[in-house]
């Protein structure tokens, strides 16, 4: 879903836009190239890596991160961030466990839990838009708060034994393909998100808000409402991801998904979305998500300790924030400033 | 000062050239700055003024030619070298440390010390007070920089330059954001600098200021020095011709007005502590100017009318329909458009392209089904770019590459594309060159001629008098006068703006 800056009509092909979108197209290409390199490197060094079964597993293992990354992309483009997503996922998982344990039907639990996720997002959004607090601080607070609630709900217990029909929806592949259902859902939502971000007025508004909030507001864009909707969306998606996570592992625990907000943000930034907002493409984010997924899978296959995996995620995060800035610096040095 | 010193420039550029890639920003430009003289640098945007200033400031190194300090060639290999040589640049909007006092800002990094290597605050304050006294201004050295007006911040910068014993002061459009009496005070300071034998290079788009303040003027056009001559004996028209290379039509187009029905009605609008009980009407087909000093609350009224800020009391009616408070979206739907004061923060999304900026006010009208039609977006941008004679390479270029005047045209295009019935323009020609300024004036006249109600906020008094059918004047948050065109003079408007009117 990379944006196409070349218009159909009267501009000659030589006049391809070298502005913002053009630059980030190159970043997308870079990440995609890196993705291919990691894939080929993995295939030649780790036996079994390139097998359909393993890739299918790697994709499935990535499902929640990928889903949450879609909502996170929209937030970061609008120059906001939601660090509480993993805690909402955990709270959602804990609620699924507690309610299932209490004998409620899974058909009732899932919508209920998703509504709780919406409320979590709403709280974030209201704190940011009504009180004007920075989302980084607000969602660090709710990161702790929602995880705490998860422990209140379920304590240290683990609840298992979910209905096999639902478990298989979270685990099995779409018949005739190596694609797990959650990944298929991700693909569908990715298309929708890509269209919204790159082809609709709402998407334009997001970029404008992220690049220059005041100018967006002066242009009649309902900045606060848009942001509120994004936070609600983020909470909703995180809660639903919590349901998938719980069913996929067959285990509801309060500490489920601990720390995956970092993987999500690393994927988004690695995908070329500027942490300061206003720049990025969904195509880049998808490449970033896949890259994170493949790396995690490779590390797992090679029995690398989880601590090292965490170090790799952290490094990727820093590199992805640093690289575009270094590149911009180099560009500025080379291309003298305008008159 | 001896005769020899007086006849030798303190600082001179000799045959300086500077290119950026294929763009030749300066070509063989010479300039001599004498002690005790205010020297104007004139030229349209893009003529090379900024490059010249940056060359003097040591930011750019010339590709050819040389810089002479007291007749000796010097090389400024960085801003520090230029500063050490006694060249200080005062920018339009200085950047001070807001939480430090005025005195601390002036002596940042060079604080006087006591015997124990501790900062000698008393000495610092005393020296700052002495500097201000030399400049003839009454600022408090202990006051924090936060909350100082732009004019006061500039004075702090000038004092800082004096504390470093700068002999050449370069002022890059210092008056663009200043009100009338702030400009007068700055001019007094420049006079004081001249008396002390310092050289001043003064850049302004306001020709009146050049004629009032400067003894000599150098005009640049397309990177080339067109003329360097004494100001005495020159007329406005001469100078404009040198700047644009042709005669302009009258700067202010004549216009027959036939005001129609009331389009914008503001009744008893109040925002506590900002403005009080402001009522006025703007009719279709007329240009009403909102004049006053900076800080009188004019922009704040415009913001409240458009829904950017809340107001505490009063009401706003557009074409007979009352606007809900604090909703720019509703204001736009009712036919209101606001070209804001700060082009770069409020008017444009600088990172976006020309066409996307123009499209931003019409996201719903550009829709085909759920998605934006790129063709419609491009057509909207092309249409308005042509109508406003925008100078651009590609509509897909970022607005950041355009000159100030062309950026302002993009802001106008973005709002005119919404087909407004009421257009509010806040400082529509601030910081843009003479040629574009005349175009903007012509455009506003045409728009009024087409039946749009125009409310123009301007600190440029000749512009107010030249354009407005009616002048509304604000003073300290209140509307103090409404002067019809026939009775509007500099004196009558200034009297009301300073609260001297009955």
Cross-strand bridge partners of residue B483: B471
Count CB pairs under 8 A between chains A and B: 107
Q: What confidence tier does B1 reach under pLDDT thresholds 50, 70, 90? A: very low
Which DSSP string do the residues of A297-339 spell out, in sequence order?
HHHHHTT--HHHHHHHHHHHHHHHHHHHHHHHHHHHHHSPPP-
Report the SS3 class of residue B429.
coil
Domain shared by B259 and B393, yes or no: no
Domain shared by B37 and B168, yes or no: yes
Final residue of a structural domain among B222, B244, B266:
B244
Q: What confidence tier does A20 reach under pLDDT thresholds 50, 70, 90? A: very low
Domain shared by B223 and B256, yes or no: no
Which residue from B20, B360, B361 is facing A339, i.e. has the nearest CB? B20
**Residue B20 C-alpha, separation from nearest chain A C-alpha, in angstroms:** 6
Residue A30 lies in a domain: no
**Residue B366 C-alpha, separation from nearest chain A C-alpha, in angstroms:** 8
Per cent of chain A over pLDDT 90 is 66
Domain shared by B265 and B328, yes or no: yes
Smallest Cα–Cα separation from B210: which of B163, B173, B261?
B173
Task: Give residue A104's pLDDT.
Answer: 95
Kindly state whether A15 is in contact with chain B, defined as any CB-CB distance less than 8 angstroms: yes
Final residue of a structural domain among B198, B215, B244:
B244
Residue A41 lies in a domain: no
Phi, psi of A147 (to 5 degrees): -65, -40
Task: Give residue A335's pLDDT.
Answer: 58
With CB atoms and an 8 Å threshold, state whether B348 touches A212: yes
With a cut of 60, say whether residue A54 has pLDDT above it: yes
Q: What confidence tier does A281 reach under pLDDT thresholds 50, 70, 90? A: very high
Task: Give residue B94's pLDDT.
Answer: 79
Residue B123 lies in a domain: no
Domain shared by B86 and B187, yes or no: yes
Residue B118 lies in a domain: no
Mutate to test the interface with B, among A9, A11, A198, A219 (most CBs of B within 10 A): A219
Domain shared by B214 and B255, yes or no: no
Tally helices (H) and strands (E) across chain A.
13, 0
Q: What is the average pLDDT across B338-361?
A: 94
Range with top average pLDDT, A250-254, B15-19, B48-52, B190-194: A250-254
How confident is the model over B441-481, as pLDDT tens digits? 999 999 999 999 999 999 888 889 889 999 999 998 999 99
Distance CA B494, CA B462 (A): 12
Residue A36 lies in a domain: no
Tokens of B79: 């801003």
With CB atoms and an 8 Å threshold, state whether B375 touches A9: yes
With a cut of 80, say whether residue B244 has pLDDT above it: no
The C-alpha R_g of chain B, in whole angstroms, comes to 24
Q: What is the average pLDDT across B294-300?
A: 88
What is residue B344's DSSP assignment? Answer: I
Distance CA B143, CA B96 (A): 13
Sequence-ordered strand ranges (E) for chain A? none
**Residues B391 and B341: beta-carbon distance below 8 Å:** no
Tokens of B272: 């506590």
With a cut of 90, say whether residue A310 has pLDDT above it: no
With CB atoms and an 8 Å threshold, state whether A211 touches B51: no
Domain shared by B184 and B279, yes or no: no
Per cent of chain B over pLDDT 70 is 96
Residue A169 lies in a domain: yes
Residue A125 lies in a domain: yes
How confident is the model over B27-40, as pLDDT tens digits? 999 999 999 999 99
Range with top average pLDDT, B3-7, B62-66, B202-206: B62-66
Residue B395 lies in a domain: yes
Q: Give, in degrees to the nearest 5, the angle at Cα A127 between A125 and A130.
A: 90
List b or e across A109-126, with b for residues whose CB sees 16 or more CB atoms inside 10 angstroms: bbebbbebbbebbbbbbb
- The answer for B 271-310 residues in CB contact with A (under 8 A) is 308
How confident is the model over B247-292, as pLDDT tens digits? 555 667 767 677 889 999 999 999 998 999 999 999 999 999 999 8
Q: What is the average pLDDT across B368-380?
A: 92
Task: Give residue B2's pLDDT.
Answer: 44
Domain shared by B328 and B259, yes or no: yes
With CB atoms and an 8 Å threshold, state whether A17 touches B394: yes
Which residue from B361, B395, B397 is facing A219, i.e. has the nearest CB? B361
Please tell me which residue of chain B has the smallest CA distance to A277: B351
Q: Give, in degrees to the nearest 5, the angle at Cα B50 between B249 and B46.
A: 40
Mutate to test the interface with B, among A1, A10, A218, A335 (most CBs of B within 10 A): A218
Residue A212 lies in a domain: yes
Distance CA A133, CA A145 (A): 17
Which residue from A217, A279, A337 is facing B328, i.e. has the nearest CB? A217
Residue B460 lies in a domain: yes
With CB atoms and an 8 Å threshold, state whether A219 touches B23: no
Smallest Cα–Cα separation from B307: which of B333, B286, B325, B285?
B325
Q: How big is chain B, counted in residues?
A: 502
With a cut of 80, say whether residue B6 has pLDDT above it: no
Distance CA B157, CA B155 (A): 5
Q: Give, in degrees to the nearest 5, the angle at Cα B335 between B255 and A130.
A: 135
Task: Give residue B438's pLDDT.
Answer: 86
Which residue from A5, A215, A221 is facing B346, i.e. has the nearest CB? A215
Q: What is the average pLDDT across B129-154?
A: 86
Task: Give residue A163's pLDDT.
Answer: 93
Residue B124 lies in a domain: no
pLDDT-wise least confident of A251-255, B52-56, B242-246: B242-246
pLDDT-wise least confident of A20-29, A327-336, B13-22: A20-29
Distance CA B464, CA B287 (A): 10
Smallest Cα–Cα separation from B473: which of B454, B440, B452, B500?
B500
How confident is the model over B164-211, as pLDDT tens digits? 888 999 998 888 777 778 888 889 889 999 999 999 999 987 888 899
Final residue of a structural domain among B195, B214, B244:
B244
Which residue from B20, B23, B398 is facing A19, i.e. has the nearest CB? B398
Residue B433 lies in a domain: no
Domain shared by B388 and B278, yes or no: no
Report the SS3 class of residue A260.
helix
Compute how many other C-beta atoms are within 10 angstroms of the C-beta atom of residue A20: 23
Domain shared by B252 and B219, yes or no: no
* Cβ partners under 8 Å of residue B116, min gap 6: none
Q: What confidence tier does B44 reach under pLDDT thresholds 50, 70, 90? A: confident
Per cent of chain B over pLDDT 90 is 52
- The answer for B 11-50 residues in CB contact with A (under 8 A) is 20-21, 23, 25, 46, 48, 50
Smallest Cα–Cα separation from B170: which of B239, B98, B67, B20?
B67
What is residue B144's DSSP assignment? Answer: B
Q: Name the residue with tokens 């009719």.
A: B283
Residue B441 lies in a domain: no
Tokens of B210: 């050049």
Q: Domain containing B310 — which CATH number?
A: 3.40.50.300
With a cut of 90, say whether residue A47 has pLDDT above it: no
Kindly state whether A204 is in contact with chain B, defined as any CB-CB distance less than 8 angstroms: yes
Sequence-ordered strand ranges (E) for B261-407? 262-271, 275-283, 287-292, 313-318, 321-322, 336-339, 367-368, 371-372
Domain shared by B309 and B233, yes or no: no
Q: What is the average pLDDT across B327-348?
A: 94
Residue A144 lies in a domain: yes
Report the SS3 class of residue A42.
helix
With a cut of 70, say whether residue B246 has pLDDT above it: no
Task: Give residue A186's pLDDT.
Answer: 96
Number of domains in chain A: 1
Distance CA B140, CA B500 (A): 27
- The answer for B 373-432 residues in CB contact with A (under 8 A) is 374-375, 378, 394-398, 401, 414
Mean pLDDT of chain A: 88
Tokens of A162: 């979910």
Task: Give residue A17's pLDDT.
Answer: 38
Domain with B392, as residue range(s), is: 342-419
Tokens of A220: 């009649």
Kindly state whether A14 is in contact with chain B, defined as any CB-CB distance less than 8 angstroms: no
Number of domains in chain B: 3
Region for A259 from its dihedrals, namely left if φ exceeds 0, alpha if ψ lies in -120 to 50, beta otherwise: left
Smallest Cα–Cα separation from A265: which of A88, A71, A23?
A71
Kindly state whether A8 is in contact with chain B, defined as any CB-CB distance less than 8 angstroms: yes
pLDDT-wise least confident of A140-154, A222-236, B117-131, B306-320: B117-131
Tokens of B363: 């996201």
Task: Give residue B437's pLDDT.
Answer: 86
Q: Domain containing A283 — which CATH number?
A: 1.10.3470
Half-sphere exposure of B216 (CA within 13 A, CB side): 17
Q: Name the residue with tokens 């003894």.
A: B215
With a cut of 50, say whether residue A14 has pLDDT above it: no
Domain with A213, as residue range(s), is: 47-298+307-321
Domain shared by B68 and B191, yes or no: yes
How confident is the model over B375-423, as pLDDT tens digits? 999 999 999 999 999 988 899 999 988 888 899 999 999 999 999 999 9
Kindly report whether the global pTM for this prediction surpasses the value 0.90. no
């Amino acid at each position: 879903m990379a944006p196409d800056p070349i218009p159909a009509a009267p501009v000659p092909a030589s006049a391809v836009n070298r502005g913002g979108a053009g630059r980030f197209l190159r970043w997308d290409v870079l990440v995609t190239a890196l993705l291919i390199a990691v894939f080929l490197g993995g295939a030649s060094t780790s036996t079994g890596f390139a097998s359909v079964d393993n890739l299918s597993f790697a994709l499935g293992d990535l499902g929640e991160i990928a889903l949450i990354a879609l909502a996170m992309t929209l937030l970061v483009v609008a120059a906001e961030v939601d660090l509480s997503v993993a805690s909402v996922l955990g709270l959602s998982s804990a609620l699924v466990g507690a309610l299932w344990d209490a004998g409620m039907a899974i058909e009732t639990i899932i919508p209920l839990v998703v509504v709780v996720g919406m409320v979590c997002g709403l709280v974030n959004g209201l704190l940011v838009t009504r009180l004007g607090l920075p989302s980084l601080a607000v969602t660090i607070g709710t990161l702790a708060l929602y995880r705490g609630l998860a422990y209140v709900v379920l304590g240290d217990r683990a609840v298992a034994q979910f209905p096999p029909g639902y478990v298989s929806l979270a685990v099995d592949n779409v018949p005739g393909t190596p694609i797990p259902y959650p990944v298929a859902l991700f693909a569908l939502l990715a298309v929708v998100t890509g269209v919204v971000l790159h082809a609709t007025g709402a998407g334009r508004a997001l970029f404008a808000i992220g690049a220059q909030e005041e100018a967006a507001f002066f242009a009649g864009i309902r900045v606060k409402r848009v942001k509120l909707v994004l936070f609600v969306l983020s909470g909703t998606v995180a809660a639903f991801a919590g349901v998938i996570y719980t069913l996929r592992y067959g285990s509801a625990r309060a500490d489920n998904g601990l720390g995956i907000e970092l993987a999500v943000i690393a994927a988004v930034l690695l995908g070329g979305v500027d942490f300061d907002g206003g720049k990025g493409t969904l195509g880049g984010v998808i490449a970033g998500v896949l890259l994170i997924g493949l790396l995690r899978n490779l590390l797992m296959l090679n029995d690398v300790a989880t601590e090292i995996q965490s170090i790799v995620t952290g490094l990727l995060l820093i590199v992805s924030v640093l690289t575009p800035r270094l590149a911009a610096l180099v560009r500025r040095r080379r291309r003298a400033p305008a008159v | 000062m001896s005769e020899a010193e007086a006849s030798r420039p303190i600082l001179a550029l000799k045959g300086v050239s500077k290119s950026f890639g294929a763009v030749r920003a300066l070509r063989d430009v010479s300039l001599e700055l004498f002690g005790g003289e205010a020297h104007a640098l004139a030229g349209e945007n893009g003529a090379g003024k900024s490059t010249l200033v940056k060359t003097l400031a040591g930011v750019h190194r010339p590709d050819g030619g040389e810089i002479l300090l007291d007749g000796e060639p010097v090389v400024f290999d960085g801003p520090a070298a230029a500063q050490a040589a006694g060249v200080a640049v005062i920018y339009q909007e200085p950047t001070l440390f807001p939480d430090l006092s005025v005195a601390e800002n002036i002596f940042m990094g060079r604080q006087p010390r006591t015997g124990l290597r501790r900062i000698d605050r008393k000495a610092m304050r005393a020296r700052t007070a002495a500097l201000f006294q030399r400049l003839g201004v009454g600022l408090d050295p202990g006051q924090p920089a936060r909350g100082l007006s732009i004019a006061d911040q500039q004075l702090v910068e000038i004092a800082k330059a004096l504390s470093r014993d700068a002999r050449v002061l370069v002022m890059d459009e210092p008056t663009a954001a200043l009100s009338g009496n702030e400009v007068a005070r700055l001019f007094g300071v420049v006079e004081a600098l001249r008396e002390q034998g310092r050289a001043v290079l003064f850049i302004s788009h306001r020709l009146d200021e050049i004629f009032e303040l400067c003894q000599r003027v150098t005009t640049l056009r397309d990177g080339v020095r067109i003329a360097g001559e004494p100001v005495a004996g020159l007329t406005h028209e001469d100078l404009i011709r040198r700047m644009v290379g042709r005669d302009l039509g009258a700067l202010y187009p004549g216009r027959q007005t036939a005001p129609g029905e009331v389009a914008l009605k503001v009744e008893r609008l109040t925002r506590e502590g900002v403005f009080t009980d402001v009522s006025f009407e703007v009719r279709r087909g007329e240009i009403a100017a909102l004049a006053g000093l900076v800080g009188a609350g004019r922009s704040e009224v415009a913001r409240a009318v458009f829904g950017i800020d809340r107001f505490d009391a009063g009401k706003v009616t557009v074409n007979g329909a009352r606007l809900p408070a604090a909703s720019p979206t509703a204001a736009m739907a009712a036919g209101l458009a606001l070209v804001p004061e700060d082009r770069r923060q409020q008017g444009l999304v600088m990172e976006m392209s020309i066409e996307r900026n123009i499209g931003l006010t019409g996201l719903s009208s550009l829709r085909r089904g759920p998605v934006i039609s790129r063709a419609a977006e491009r057509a909207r941008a092309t249409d308005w770019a042509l109508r406003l004679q925008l100078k651009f390479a590609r509509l897909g270029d970022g607005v950041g590459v355009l000159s100030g005047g062309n950026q302002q045209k993009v802001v106008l295009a973005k709002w005119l594309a919404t087909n407004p019935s009421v257009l509010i323009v806040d400082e529509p020609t601030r910081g843009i060159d003479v040629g574009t300024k005349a175009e903007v004036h012509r455009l506003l006249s045409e728009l009024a001629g087409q039946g749009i109600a125009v409310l123009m906020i301007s600190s440029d008094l000749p512009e107010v008098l030249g354009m407005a059918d009616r002048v509304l004047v604000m003073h300290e948050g209140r509307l103090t006068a409404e002067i019809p065109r026939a009775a509007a003079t500099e004196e009558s408007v200034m009297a009301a703006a300073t609260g001297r009117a009955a």
